[in-house]
Amino acid sequence: MDNRFSEIDRELESSIKSIGKKLFSRIQAETETFIHSKWWEAQVLEWCLRDDFLKTRILKFIDVFPSLKTPQQVIAHLREYFPESEHRLPIPLRLGVSASKIPFLTSRALSSIVNLSVTKIAKQFIAGSTAEEAFEAVKSLREENMSFTFDVLGEATTSEAQAEAYMKSYINLIHDLSRLLRESAWKHSSTQELYPINVSIKLSSLYSQFDPADADGTGMAVKVRLQEIFRSAKENNAFINIDMEQYCYRDLTVKIFKEILEEREFSGFSGAGLVVQAYLQDSREMVENLLGWAKNHKKDLSIRLVRGAYWDYEIIQAKQKGWPVPVFTEKWETDANFELLTEILLKNNNLVRTAIGTHNIRSIAHAIALATHLNIPSDSIHGFSLKGLYPFW
């Protein structure tokens, strides 16, 4: 390990291991209960995540499924996506693929089988197709004093009409969730007292020509729509989490984030935050830049630290174009950098509110142990960040 990564003293390391063991014990207990109560859903999820190649095909099929208008299209796509791998599929989809080879089944009957199968799988990843359904899906989390953020699915934008529709979709989601919150018996929890509604946004969904080569033009177009979303967030006491996408969009996303919060209308708005991806080799420089900006402009900054979700894409893209690979290529490097960034953020607790978004138990245990070591209040750091997904189609 090179000297960029901080040394962890023995006392802190012992605390990390102790917390990690407790987390594993709680997970094991919860898993046993989960298997007894929702065995079928657990099996579907396990099958989906066990096989990387198959997982990609299943998720792609689920993504395209709502656009398939006829039973014939469903069957054609099913056979194209899973030509030889039905023995590795979760049982619901395996039945659909196998049934597609039975000659006397009609396309409509087979489409019904597949629809049921996809619905079962999709429910593991999608909280609901309406704000009401999404709201119901997170009730139990709220009651357990847990926080969450909602995403709008299908954010790829190919036209200005679509970008406008996405903007309205975000605004409607914020308004609907605010209304449902007012009508419910929910109480503000310690982790959600300031902003009980949390919505994540990808800026590329707000402009069909999002292009770092035209930073000024893209920034102007995106900010017009983002301003409307921010106004809705201010009116409805909602938090807007600006998500990160591929590396080539990163600097422009940060630029737009800074510029809109420097505008007079939003200069005092603390309900917006930014994601930092720990798998990027220059993520430390990004964090230090954001902290300097927050200090110089007296901004109430929120950062959600994640590992990153475009690892395969970044490597393939860099190799195809002969560019330097922007991400760490070894898991331990990302793990170590995640802990380094956690330490930097927590030690700047006076400038930034930190959220930890990861499934890595070691990373969570490290954040909890370090926060305790630094005497940071437990309700100012989030170990898990569960993302509710709100479809747009």
Task: Convert the pLDDT of each residue in 354-371 to its tens digit.
Answer: 998 888 889 988 998 999
Q: Does the pLDDT value for residue 349 go beyond 50?
A: yes
Domain 131-390, CATH: 3.20.20.220
CA distance 145 to 44: 27
SS3 349: coil
- Average the pLDDT over 340-357 and give the result: 92
Task: Convert the pLDDT of each residue in 16-59 to its tens digit.
Answer: 989 888 887 876 666 555 444 454 455 555 555 556 666 677 76
Q: Are 176 and 132 in contact (CB under 8 A)?
A: yes
Name the residue ranges covered by the structural domains of the chain: 40-122, 131-390
* Token pair 């995540």: residue: 49
Q: What are phi and psi of 381, to 5 degrees?
A: -135, 135
Better-predicted residue by pLDDT, 108 or 323 = 323
Contacts of 275 (CB under 8 A, 6+ apart): 241, 242, 243, 244, 303, 304, 305, 306, 357
Identify the pLDDT of residue 191. 45
User: Rg of the chain over CA atoms, in angstroms?
Assistant: 22
Q: Calculate the average pLDDT of the chain.
A: 78
Helix residue ranges per DSSP H, the chain: 10-37, 39-50, 52-64, 71-81, 91-99, 107-122, 131-137, 139-143, 160-183, 215-236, 247-262, 283-297, 311-321, 331-347, 361-373
Q: Does the pLDDT value for residue 337 go beyond 90?
A: yes
Q: Give the pTM.
A: 0.75
Task: Convert the pLDDT of each residue in 206-255 to its tens digit.
Answer: 999 999 999 999 999 999 999 999 999 999 999 999 999 999 999 999 99
- Token pair, residue 290, equals 């954001």
Q: What is the sign of the dihedral through the CA atoms of 329, 330, 332 and 335?
A: positive
Q: Does the pLDDT value for residue 141 go beyond 80?
A: no
Q: Are 343 and 363 in contact (CB under 8 A)?
A: no
Q: What are phi and psi of 174, to 5 degrees?
A: -60, -45
